[in-house]
Structure 1
Amino acid sequence: MGESERQDFERKKAAIDQYSQGSSFNDIERATTLSRQYVGYLLRRCTQIHSNGYPVGYFALLKGRHTVAVRRNSLDKIESGRALPGALQALFSKYPDLQETMYKLVVNKVPPESKRADYRLSWHHIHEIFLGQCNLLGIEPPSYPFCSGSQGRYALENWGRRMISEHQVSKSSSLNARAYDRYVGRGPPSRVFERVEVDGHALDINWTLEVPSLNGDGIIYCKISRLWLIALLEVRSGAAIGYSLSIGRNYNASDVTCAVQSSLVPWKPRQLTLSTISYKPGECLPNALMPELSYVCYDELWLDNAKSHLSDLFLTMLERTVNAVPVFGPKASPNVRPHIEMLFDLIEEAGIHCLPGTTGSHPKDPRKSGKNEERFILKLDVLLDLIDLLIVRYNTGIAPGTTISRNEVLKRAVMRETNIFRRVPQNKRELCTKYSIFEESQIGQDRGRPILRWKNARYDGPGLHSHSNLVGQRVLVMASQDLRKIEVVLLKDGSSLGELVVEKRWRDTPHTVFTRTALRSMMTNHGFVRHAADIPLAVRAHIEKEVVEKGRQQRLLARLLREQQSNSKVEMKSVSPDASTPPGISGELAKNNTSHSFSKHSEPDVLDALIDKLGTTYR
């Protein structure tokens, strides 16, 4: 925006602000030199409703901006002697050869009477060629474009940029083109929590995870080359409002559900396992800043067509908690959801790529660790601490276009009280935090007694025996990530059957849907038969045997560890791999619980240096 355009905009904005404060038209005219009729015209433009359903606002005060998307391009506008909206389209309708010439000039950079492209053409040169072509067609004042103050330059430039954008989209696939029109054409959000983006990203790591053996055989080393980060990002402020991690080939609907839940429930700092690092003031997810930012619902949730996003498990949970509108887009289209991709890029460049054991962003990346270089061996708690620190430190960075942090943008938006934010009702918050799976099932029978078979296990409870004629009834099952206890509601009248407990062989060890799905796959492949007193532990023992003997199922074992582990103190080490024995450990922390200091001969921890480096990188 030039200096003259900026002054014109500020003069119009001052007139609108004075009118909203109750000033008279005479006072406004003395202060801004704008007449009463012109101020009324500006008010009508600013209060017009945009295609997104909100008023246009100050955008209508910019010079050369149109607020009405659909207009009649009558040929009478050319000879009206005024620059009316749609006059350029009417001119192109009357002279189609002129439109074809200007399209080649703008898009292909090919001037008239030339076959070679000139990529040095500026908009000033393009406008001069446009006026020259009008003169050749016999168009003279006061016809358009010569009746305009800019001689049609603003309209020509806007039309040209639109043609360039449409041409770039047409070069891609038809799916991406439709996505561009549907998403980018909607414009940015006008307020916070109007739009949230969610996606999963495979971190560029090649680390080794320590898994304690169930049989007392020491430590099992599992290579982790795929760690999925599922994050939710609020578009207006750019803040990460929730996340979850998944170890495996791909993430599933339960992982996305955990990420949505973390955006609602107030965040709590982790008990960090390394004494040399800690949370800095203000480092948290937004829902922990103030009570008004917890359990906030968002209007739109933008996501792609991944199977985990299309699953009934996730969509049902989304409807029953946040009640946001899912806006689906195509896979592998980062331009449709650029903000969440920016978050993943920052996490990679300022965090993961700074550590040994990274695979880099491409095969020739010099930061890529080789086979003979040092790599990390770490326990699961250290891995979770690292990701949590990276996420919360990202939120303390400066938000784009402001001078305050991303968390502070959301905090001030709530404190201003200019918008009414939807929040999860108080009576539904317990269900929101307690249950993440909502699924229909049917009550069966076992030896004449009613029983519920769900997810390859049997459930029983007093509620099944306090009602009559329950066999064959449809019920709604509500469960958390841990499937040992569920709550059942009859669909016909909404009466609750209370909590049901899983059969004894599933009851002792925490487990999720993933464990039962993996078990069913093993039974199908004749690799495991479930005859054990504790099936989840038996599954893990079977996987441990596969890892030790054949080196397979390492990611599966790491995921089972996360489901079953207790919150114990762990430490992170930098080691060099060896072919025969487990790698040696260097940089070990001194085990002093009172002073939490390093021993004199130990090296400083690499994670500590990384976290110190992030303070400036994220800003």
Structure 2
Amino acid sequence: MVRKSLIERENLEVHISNWPQVNFENLPEMHRDIFAKRKQAVDLYMTDRATILDITKQTGVNRVDLFRLIKRCLDYDEDGKVYGYRALIPYKRMKSYERSKPINVKDKLEKVSFNGSFSKFLDEHPSIAKLVLNLYLNKSQGGVKRPRMRIIDIHDKFVRACKNEGIIENEYPLNTYNKGLRSLERFFRKLQNDHFTEIVSARFGVDAGRRAKRVPSTYHSKNIITRPYQQVQFDGHKIDAIFTITYTTPLGHRVQETIDRPWLLLLIDVATRTVLGYHICLEKEYSSTDVLQCIKRATMPWREKTLSIHGLRYPDQIGYASALISETSWAVWDELLFDNAKANLANIVKDRLRRVIGCDVNAGPVNMPEYRGIIERLFGLLEENGYHRLPSTTGSNSKDPRRQDPEDKARKYNISIEHLEELTEILIANYNLRPHSGIENFSPLGSMKQKIENNELVRQLPEEKRSELIFLSFQAKRRVAGSVEYGKRPFIQFEHVTYHNSILSTSPWLINKELTLLVNVDDLRTIRAFLPDGSELGILKAHGHWGIIAHSLRLRKAIYKLKRDQKINFSADENPFEIYIGYLEKNNDKTSRVKLAKLQHQQPEIYQQVTYEKNSDQNLPSPKEGTPDVHQMPITKKLKRTIVF
């Protein structure tokens, strides 16, 4: 027979093999026979195996019902899929009911039906509908934004709004038993089902909304990660514990002070779950320098740490990749996943990843830690296996029963940052050697070793890029200052400090030329400079004490911030480090004490040198106490020389 125009229209899914199916066994027994006859009739018609008359005789479905059923099968649901055989289920509603007759109208039996009344009521009263939606979605209306409201409280405002609209007690919805409460609950339930992400975000907070936005199928990589160093994940985590740091006062007393929860930065290989490197940051927020330190440690060969905690030791197989697998020394990755933290997106980090590591960078969606689920789970594992077992743990939240005066416990047992570093070293080593369910119960290092032995190639850093300094260096451009007219020799200025060398000082033709600088953020005493054509000009040295004492970019910025805020002041001839340390020593607040302790811990050479110079100046012998020094005496008291002919 010839197909009717009904199924020959464009864009209709006429291939019944592609239609969604129905589980026949789940249908009630009274509906199974009806569904079977409907399906048989539709199949015969769609496959052109029988005439309409024969279909009616075989199935009992008449011509009118047959065309009605076919229309239902060819219709599309809200997701854009054809209904197919689902449309043949008896009493299946394919469209939501919309009331056509007015509300509060009685039928022939003098009864009032409220089917579809609530939706129609909201359509007729848009101001009430807007109020209800704003209350449910926590939308502020010019005032203070309130916490999430209960539905019972929203209903009270709904009833009040109805009365303000002039609706009397014998009119819908005030004439119902619960004044529309059940209808309001059903309306919110349908709203939540239709707009899941928006409702969850508005009603249940940012974290729940972030998880609601995540559709698992859209976040899976198109290419399965199977090769070591094919993709790694990076993230930072604040450790759930308090630690102490010890510093020396000007009088020589050793003082113990607690610090803010430190950061643990990690790099983990996705294919093998191996932790490649870590770094601990003691600041309130980690910086781009800390990110680079972590990248450097993940790339360089592992170095054994001296352990001071009694009973703490390395596992027999050490537990770090470069200690067991020679191919992983100086190995680098192809893709790095991290979040949108400011430190991660710094220019120096992106530059080092591109120029040194040679990898692609994937920052991923904003506020979506699930995108890096592997490293997030690792942080939780390290907390439960290590940090949460410390007496000074803060627990996973403020109500955690394990949280019991963590600062007092840290002081009592002297749980120091040195202990944190040693504990973290062993925790990660043990993790790398334990079976992991995500890699078929292989250990992370065992999985990596097997894959590399099976000729999985690992890219290694070239020899010329293996210097420790290259990880912490970045390029900057500065214009040469100076004046021929005033006889001021050429120099450059970087971060408030002047730099020069003999070549630059004797090259007035370089004034106003732009030089490219290679800056090491860990040591700003010297900077390597290059001419506009790319040739090297040489090493430029900082003026004064800035060129003598090794210091980081972070420390210099901290010193000049205090100077800009007029909290300290120093001239070109004064030692800025001595003044900075003196400022921290004079301020008796916790912030200054912690900064002083961190300076002594992280850059002890600065503190030792400044302290030595200060003590040397204070202990100089006076002219009466010892042999006079002509260089320390006033000009008028210089010794006379006797010349003998």
**Alignment TM-score, normalising by the size of structure 1:** 0.62
Residue 288 and residue 74 in structure 1: after superposition, are their counterparts in 2 closer, same or farther (change >3 A)? Answer: farther
Q: Where does 1:559-570 land on structure 2 (aligned, <5 Å)?
A: 559-565=598-604
Matches for 1:74-89 after TM superposition, within 5 Å: 75-78=13-16, 83=17, 87-88=18-19
> 2: distance between equivalents of 1:205 and 1:386?
12
- CA–CA distance in 2 between the matches of 1:438 and 1:231? 22
Counterparts of 2:85 and 2:529 in 1: how far apart (Å)? 67
Other-structure match for 1:520: 560
| Aligned position for 2:624 | none
User: Is 2:244 the partner of 1:205?
Assistant: no
SS in 2 for 1:205: coil
Aligned counterparts, 1:119-138, within 5 A: 125=26, 138=39
Q: Note closer, same or farther for the CA distance 1:357–1:74 as it changes in structure 2 (3 Å cut).
A: same
Deviation, structure 1 residue 522: 0.9
Give the Cα–Cα distance (whole angstroms) in 1 for the partners of residues 445 and 583 of structure 2: 45
Structure 1 residue runs of 5 or longer lacking an equivalent are: 1-71, 93-101, 103-121, 145-150, 154-163, 568-619
Q: Deviations over 1:247-293 (max 9, x none)?
A: 12111111011111111111101122345433222224323333311
Is the partner of 2:424 in helix, strand or coil? helix
Question: For 1:553, what is the secondary structure of its paired residue?
Answer: helix
- Which residue number corresponds to residue 617 of structure 1? none
Contact 1:205 1:224 in 2 (8 A): no
Q: Residue type matched to 2:592 in 1?
A: Q
Does the Cα contact within 8 Å between 1:227 and 1:247 map onto a contact in 2?
A: yes
1:193 paired with 2:232, answer: no
Change (3 A) 1:368 1:487: same
1:476 & 1:129 partners in 2: Cα distance? 85
Q: How many residues align?
A: 439
**Superposed CA offset, 1:160-216 (max 9, x none):** xxxx99987664578767765796132552322222111111111222211223x24
Cα distance in 2 between the residues matched to 1:358 and 1:168: 37
Larger Rg: 2
In the TM superposition, residue 543 of structure 1 has moved relative to its aligned partner by 1.7
The residue type equivalent to 1:352 in the other structure is Y
Give distance in 2, aligned partners of 1:425 and 1:367: 48
**Which residue pairs with 1:386 in the alignment?**
423
Over residues 422-475 of structure 1, what are the superposed CA-to-partner deviations in whole Å (9 max), with x where a residue is unaligned? Answer: 322222222x65441313121433563222322232223345357663333333
Is the Cα–Cα contact under 8 Å of residues 457 and 503 in structure 1 kept in the other structure?
yes
- Match of 1:393, SS state, is helix
Deviation (angstroms), 1:128: 11
Corresponding residue SS for 1:501:
strand
2:305 matches 1:263: no
In the TM superposition, 1:202-351 aligns within 5 A as: 202-213=238-249, 215-274=250-309, 276-351=311-386
Matched, 1:454 2:494: yes
Choose the corresponding residue for 2:458, options 421, 445, 463. Answer: 421
Q: Deviations over 1:43-81 (max 9, x none)?
A: xxxxxxxxxxxxxxxxxxxxxxxxxxxxx9972432xxx
- Between the aligned partners of 1:211 and 1:175, the Cα distance in structure 2 is 43
After superposition, the C-alpha distances for 1:224-248 in whole angstroms (9 at most, x for unaligned) are: 1220111111111111111111112
Distance 1:421 1:349, change over 3 A: same
Given residue 585 of structure 2, which amino acid in structure 1 is its aligned partner?
A: E
Structure 2 contact 264–278 (Cα < 8 Å) conserved: yes
SS of residue in 1 equivalent to 2:509:
coil
Contact 1:300/1:325 (CA < 8 Å) preserved in 2? yes
Work out whether residues 476 and 519 of structure 2, in 8 Å CA contact, stay in contact via their aligned partners in 1. Answer: no
Verify: 1:540 aligned to 2:577, yes or no: no
1:398 paired to 2:418: no
| 1:368-424 deviation digits (Å, cap 9, x = unpaired) | 12279532425543332222222222212223333332122222222211x333322
Distance 1:372 1:378, change over 3 A: closer
Aligned to 2:475: 439
Preserved contact between residue 263 and residue 287 of structure 1 (Cα < 8 Å): no
Q: Output the CA distance in 2 between the equivalents of 1:128 and 1:347.
A: 55
Cα shift at 1:303: 1.1
- Given that residues 24 and 32 in structure 2 are in contact (C-alpha distance below 8 angstroms), is that contact kept between their aligned partners in structure 1? no
Unpaired runs of 5+ in structure 2? Answer: 1-9, 48-83, 87-191, 607-645
User: TM-score, normalization: structure 2?
Assistant: 0.60
Change (3 A) 1:165 1:383: farther
Kindly indicate whether the alpha-carbon contact (under 8 Å) linking 1:511 and 1:563 is maintained by their aligned counterparts in 2.
no
- Label 1:235 to 1:247 Cα distance change in 2 as closer, same or farther (>3 A): same
1:509 Cα deviation from its structure 2 partner: 3.6
Counterpart residue identity of residue 270, structure 1: K
The reply to whether residue 495 of structure 1 matches residue 530 of structure 2 is: no
SS at match of 2:237: strand
1:358 aligns with 2:393: yes
CA contact (8 A) 1:196 1:302 kept: yes
CA distance in 2 between counterparts of 1:261 and 1:127 reads 66
For 2:281 and 2:295, the matched residues in 1 are separated by 14
Q: Name the CA distance, whole Å, in 2 between partners of 1:126 and 1:474.
A: 80
CA offset digits 1:565-605 (Å, max 9, x no partner)? 269xxxxxxxxxxxxxxxxxxxxxxxxxxxxxxxxxxxxxx
* 2:349 is the counterpart of 1:411: no
Match of 1:30 in 2: none
Structure 2 SS opposite 1:278: coil
Shift of 1:545: 2.5
Counterpart residue type for residue 271 of structure 2 = R
Aligned ranges for residues 169-188 of structure 1 at < 5 Å? 171-172=200-201, 180=215, 184-186=219-221, 188=224
* Structure with higher RCO (Cα < 8 A, 6+ apart): 1
- For 1:126 and 1:236, locate their aligned partners in 2 and report how far apart those are by CA, in whole Å: 45
CA distance in 2, matches of 1:126, 1:289: 61
Q: In 1, distance between residues paired with 2:287 and 2:370?
A: 23
| SS at 1:245 equivalent | strand
CA deviation profile, 1:92-113 (whole Å, cap 9, x unmatched): 9xxxxxxxxx9xxxxxxxxxxx
2: distance between equivalents of 1:442 and 1:399?
51
Q: Describe the superposition over 1:116-161 as per-residue Cα deviations: whole angstroms up to 9, x where unpaired.
A: xxxxxx99859999999975864655879xxxxxx999xxxxxxxx
Q: 1:478 to 1:382 in 2, by over 3 A?
A: farther
1:444/1:190 CA distance change after superposition, 3 Å: same
Counterparts in 2 of 1:378 and 1:177: CA distance versus 1, 3 Å: closer
Q: 1:124 to 1:475 in 2, by over 3 A?
A: farther
Q: Give the aligned partner of residue 550 of structure 1.
A: 589
Alignment of 1:603-614 (within 5 A): none
C-alpha spacing 1:209/1:152, structure 2 compared with 1 (3 Å): farther
Pair 131,508 (structure 1): closer, same or farther in 2 beyond 3 Å? farther
2:461 is matched by which residue type in structure 1?
V
